[in-house]
């Protein structure tokens, strides 16, 4: 029996705009990675939400890439994300051989939020804490969690949460790497040769690119979420396109000190968000196996990794789980005060959250 590789975990966020475009090869690549390391999937659903709002004659308004969400809009958002799309993603993964289990971020206080910007965007939440216990329970059952980006507010009601922010918060809380899958192959910038993918983006330079207009629209919250993830404890963050070869290359890039190929078969694999003082070249704290060879297609890689009948499903974190930060680690802390300085773990229980990490607003 082939044993699962001892590697760190990975949060994979797939945007709503690429859900339909991601074909069997892409989900096969995700299956291959799920056989090797713990995986959490976070999905968006913007286009489906827009279509439903239009069909109901409801207004669509976005500010800085975030959806303004009144009560009527929230009802649509929750129905589409936690109902239709979450179920659709789970069924697609099951057909690909991935034992998936859908969950809303508002369930079991997985994601706790407060109104963003004092409620200026309506029922949109800023993530304040993540309790990874529900995800651990799902993984202990041998399944891959599929998370709908919703949060539970202080009033006990559901709030809309940007899916990129949700993925970043979950990755930092779990100590996992995070990959944001987009409808573009990475962060695109203007060069003398035309628009090209920026291979690496230092976290300290992200806001300058946004202020200068190089990063716009929906890429803004994605880049900010990636920065927040690596600053909060995620080993690495990537923004990639929906190419299955890119997903495999990033997911198998190896240890944080291992070199990563800049392209696969001549195509860029995406943009790596680099934390200050780190090269951000890897996703896990242990080797995840060789990078995807340039002469190996996504289809052949997926076929080679096809599940055998006796291959174990992804299991609980166990030895794969990153150890919690010590109390004297910069950015760590206990209690609500940690939310003002960085990602931290509650000491004991707080508000019914048994193993939560407090976060500061994005």
- 46 is known as an active-site residue: yes
Average pLDDT, the chain: 75
Query: Does the pLDDT value for residue 361 go beyond 80?
Result: no
Domains of the chain: 10-291+330-358 (3.40.1160.10)
Average pLDDT of the residues in 23-46? 93
- 54 is known as an active-site residue: no
Q: Write 218-223 long-range contacts (CB < 8 A, 24+).
A: 218/46, 218/65, 219/65, 219/182, 219/184, 219/187, 220/64, 220/65, 221/64, 221/65, 221/66, 221/162, 221/164, 221/165, 221/362, 222/164, 222/180, 222/182, 223/187, 223/273
Q: How would residue 302 be classed by pLDDT, with cut points 50, 70 and 90?
A: very low
Annotated binding site: 45-46, 67, 160
Greater confidence (149 vs 65) lies with: 149
- pLDDT, tens digit, for every residue of 141-166? 999 999 999 999 999 999 999 999 99
Check 15, 116, 222, 284 and give the catalytic one. 222
- 164 is known as an active-site residue: yes
What is the enclosing helix (H) or strand (E) of 179?
strand 177-181
Check 8, 13, 31, 116 and give the catalytic one. 13
Cβ contacts of 284 within 8 Å, gap of 6 or more: 7, 8, 9, 10, 37, 177, 235, 254, 255, 256
Q: Percent of the chain having pLDDT more than 90?
A: 48
What pLDDT does 7 receive? Answer: 52
What pLDDT does 265 receive? Answer: 55
CA atoms of 196 and 167, how far apart (whole Å): 25
Query: Does the pLDDT value for residue 93 go beyond 90?
Result: yes
What pLDDT does 9 receive? Answer: 93
What pLDDT does 274 receive? Answer: 82
Average pLDDT of the residues in 103-109? 94
What pLDDT does 64 receive? Answer: 73
Sheet containing 150-152, strands listed edge to edge, beginning at the edge strand earlier in sequence: 158-160, 150-152, 111-115, 125-130, 357-358, 344-345
- 70 is known as an active-site residue: no
- 8 is known as an active-site residue: no
Average pLDDT of the residues in 36-58? 95
Query: Does the pLDDT value for residue 77 go beyond 60?
Result: yes
CA dihedral 206, 208, 210, 213 (to 10 degrees): -140
Q: Which of 276-285, 342-351, 352-361 has the lowest mean pLDDT?
A: 342-351
What pLDDT does 51 receive? Answer: 95
The distance from CA 341 to its chain's CA centroid, rounded to whole angstroms, is 22
Q: How would residue 356 be classed by pLDDT, with cut points 50, 70 and 90?
A: low
What pLDDT does 251 receive? Answer: 84
Check 15, 105, 131, 164 and give the catalytic one. 164
**Torsional class of 171: left (φ above 0), alpha (ψ -120 to 50), beta (otherwise):** alpha
What pLDDT does 262 receive? Answer: 55
Check 9, 16, 284, 344 and give the catalytic one. 16
- pLDDT, tens digit, for every residue of 310-333? 333 322 222 233 333 333 332 332
Check 8, 15, 44, 46 and give the catalytic one. 46
Annotated binding site for substrate: 45-46, 67, 160
Q: How would residue 268 be classed by pLDDT, with cut points 50, 70 and 90?
A: low
Tokens of 260: 């990563």
């Amino acid at each position: 029996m082939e044993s699962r590789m001892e590697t760190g975990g990975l949060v994979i966020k797939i945007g709503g705009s690429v859900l339909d475009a991601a074909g069997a090869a892409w989900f096969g690549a995700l299956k291959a990675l799920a056989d090797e390391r713990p995986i959490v999937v976070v999905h968006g659903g913007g286009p489906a939400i827009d279509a439903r709002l239009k069909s109901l004659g409801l207004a669509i308004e976005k500010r800085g890439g975030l959806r303004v969400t009144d009560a009527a809009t929230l009802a649509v958002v929750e129905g589409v994300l936690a109902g239709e799309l979450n179920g659709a993603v789970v069924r697609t993964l099951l057909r690909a051989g991935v034992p998936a289990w859908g969950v809303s971020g508002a369930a079991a206080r997985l994601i706790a939020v407060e109104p963003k910007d004092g409620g200026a965007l309506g029922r949109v939440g800023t993530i304040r804490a993540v309790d990874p216990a529900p995800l651990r329970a799902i993984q202990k059952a041998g399944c891959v969690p599929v998370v709908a980006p919703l949060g539970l507010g202080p009033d006990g009601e559901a709030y809309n949460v940007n899916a990129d922010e949700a993925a970043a918060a979950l990755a930092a809380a779990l100590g996992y790497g995070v990959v944001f899958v987009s409808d573009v192959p990475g962060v695109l910038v203007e060069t003398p040769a035309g628009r090209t993918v920026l291979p690496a983006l230092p976290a300290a330079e992200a806001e300058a690119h946004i202020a200068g207009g190089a990063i716009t629209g929906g890429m803004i919250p994605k880049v900010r979420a990636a920065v927040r993830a690596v600053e909060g404890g995620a080993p690495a963050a990537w923004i990639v396109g929906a190419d299955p070869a890119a997903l495999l290359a990033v997911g198998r890039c190896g240890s944080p000190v291992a070199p990563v190929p800049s392209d696969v078969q001549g195509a860029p694999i995406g943009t790596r968000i680099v934390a200050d003082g780190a090269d951000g070249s890897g996703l896990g704290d242990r080797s995840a196996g060789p990078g995807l060879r340039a002469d190996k297609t996504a289809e052949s890689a997926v076929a080679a990794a096809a599940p055998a009948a006796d291959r174990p499903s992804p299991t609980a974190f166990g030895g794969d789980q990153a150890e919690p930060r010590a109390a004297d680690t910069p950015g760590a802390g206990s209690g609500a005060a940690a939310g003002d300085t960085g990602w931290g773990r509650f000491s004991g229980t707080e508000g019914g959250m048994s193993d939560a990490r407090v976060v500061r607003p994005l």
